[in-house]
Structure 1
């Protein structure tokens, strides 16, 4: 009888397995498969700090229907370390854990120390892999909590240093961004939660369709979102340019500014007017496409990167951009294809 009670008690005390949510990148009880649940998870993440809030009742949308036991701090810590073991070397994890774990003892209170530990760990990991954090929040065009003014200014400052734009361009971009933000705020204000969910679902469906379409073609393609996040590059693009970094990429990487650039003689204002302001779904622009690794022996033109001060190879291309817009005509997905210019093709065939 005692053994039976002990077995039952052990089962009751066995914690629910913790999984990492693909949306918020924090560890918590899995909210189950499906984008609807994951969207609710993201929306409730801030009210449910670290999923269970260590003693307070979390939102029911973040938990499964099964009764859950409160996880321990050590279990959360061990999960995060194991989750990133295939990303960072074991020596890196070990050195960080040995430095941090001792200073975050449980004597000062479980919730405070746990939150501080996770913040420091995620901050540490983000130094190595910034693309792994805030991707879903930043790629959600209907998230009213987004305030990307600071990120946008860093992006524009980097664009200016790269020669992508002028001071006058930045003034016009800031004016456009202010209008875009106001329009988005008005749009979000007048749609119901069900409509917002439907629009997010449509957005994700469009994104997956674009990814599938790009993977089915042999034309080099990349897909980026409204905050400069390069979300996907097809295999043809990787083979043609030698690009090998994992995607999606956080906008702090400034990959979009590095992947291609407009010629200095081309007025980039045309791009903003044709892509952002008009209703055209299909646009073509002259660009210089960066070649990371010239395994194809392409005839390159070299330019000095003003930031890294390294010589980088480019080829002249025609970029075709298809813009996916939502119900309110807001541009949310950009699908770019690259075709070498006539001059480049002549050089390729004349110098086999």
Structure 2
């Protein structure tokens, strides 16, 4: 039995003239999905034109250059998340995700680790949140950790480069590999998991915090807000890296070490229990910390990539009287 070669469509990596980034493209001269979403399908470079270029031109743009070009050109400035509502009505501050959007808000300074102006991850052909991680975010996160004193400059740069060469590279490969249908199903599964996790944590008497890829806090339950005096709405802005301010130095170091040790892609849930200190924001001119125990669970997608981090904090009973929470 033989197949007609004309019926076989191969996925090809090609950089189109409009979005300036190499990505998967069906070898049938159709515009790519990225350009269709931008309303620029007429500007998309088809495969036949790509093949006519001299070979030396195919090698002129490295992946890093392609990445820089994309963010210089800019793209829509919204990340869209599937709308959900929590069932709990007892939160001091409800999670504000009814409109289903998380804004990319560019910062005022011009640091190389700032969020690219008008960048959008959701517009990147509907990527599921577990595949949002990019080199620029890893750089920004580690520079924040260096500034906070979690790592020395030398330690931070070593870990940052390691993360870019392993985690970001693997995710970038998956961004190209998965199909449009897979992206859609993964995004839907992400939304379902989010609903289940938020509803579960909402009813718990234990202080609980949930965040997702790119350190975006998606839920802090009432017990957490009352104990810590935490009053920020969810989801947290991408540029805030808020979760890094809610974990002490030793917890962050152990957490990152564990991620590298277990590998970026694994199966099932990951659980970790460790001593930790939670910041206390209520009525104090100098920030104090509540000692206790932190239990963390990592929910993963079909590729084994982290989708949600759920942390439950148990404060030491002996010190609770020092931290009024009513």
The unaligned stretches of length 5 or more in structure 1 are: 1-41, 50-55, 57-121, 295-301, 303-309
- 1:110 maps to none
Question: How far apart are the structure 2 equivalents of 1:143 and 1:336?
Answer: 19
Question: How far apart are the structure 1 equivalents of 2:248 and 2:241?
Answer: 12
Query: Which entry has the higher C-alpha Rg, 1 or 2?
Result: 1
Residue number among 143, 147, 154 corresponding to 1:157 in the alignment = 143
Residue 265 of structure 1, CA deviation: 11
Residue 169 of structure 1, CA deviation: 3.9
Residue number among 189, 192, 201 corresponding to 1:205 in the alignment = 192
Q: Which structure dedicates a bigger proportion of its chain to helix?
A: 1
Residue 142 of structure 1, CA deviation: 3.4
Count matched residues.
220
Report whether the alignment pairs 1:231 with 2:221.
no
Tell me, yes or no, if the aligned pair for 1:142 and 1:196 is still in contact at 8 Å: yes
- 1:72 maps to none
Report whether the alignment pairs 1:282 with 2:268.
no
Question: How far apart are the structure 2 equivalents of 1:195 and 1:265?
Answer: 32
Which secondary structure state, in structure 1, belongs to the residue aligned with residue 250 of structure 2? Answer: coil
The unaligned stretches of length 5 or more in structure 2 are: 1-32, 43-102, 109-114
- 2:248 maps to 261
Which secondary structure state, in structure 1, belongs to the residue aligned with residue 287 of structure 2? Answer: strand
Gap change, CA 1:228 and 1:177, over 3 Å in 2:
farther
Residue 159 of structure 1, CA deviation: 1.3
TM-score (norm 2): 0.56
Gap change, CA 1:349 and 1:252, over 3 Å in 2:
closer
Which is bigger in relative contact order (C-alpha 8 A, separation at least 6)?
2
Which secondary structure state, in structure 1, belongs to the residue aligned with residue 196 of structure 2? Answer: helix
Q: CA RMSD in A?
A: 4.0
- 1:47 maps to 38
Alignment of 1:240-259 (within 5 A): 240-259=227-246
- 1:67 maps to none
> Which contiguous aligned blocks of 4+ residues in structure 1 show a shift greater than 4 angstroms?
42-46, 122-127, 133-136, 138-141, 143-147, 264-269, 274-280, 349-352
**What do the CA deviations read for 1:87-109 (whole angstroms, capped 9, x no partner)?**
xxxxxxxxxxxxxxxxxxxxxxx
Question: How far apart are the structure 1 equivalents of 2:203 and 2:314?
Answer: 16
- 1:323 maps to 298
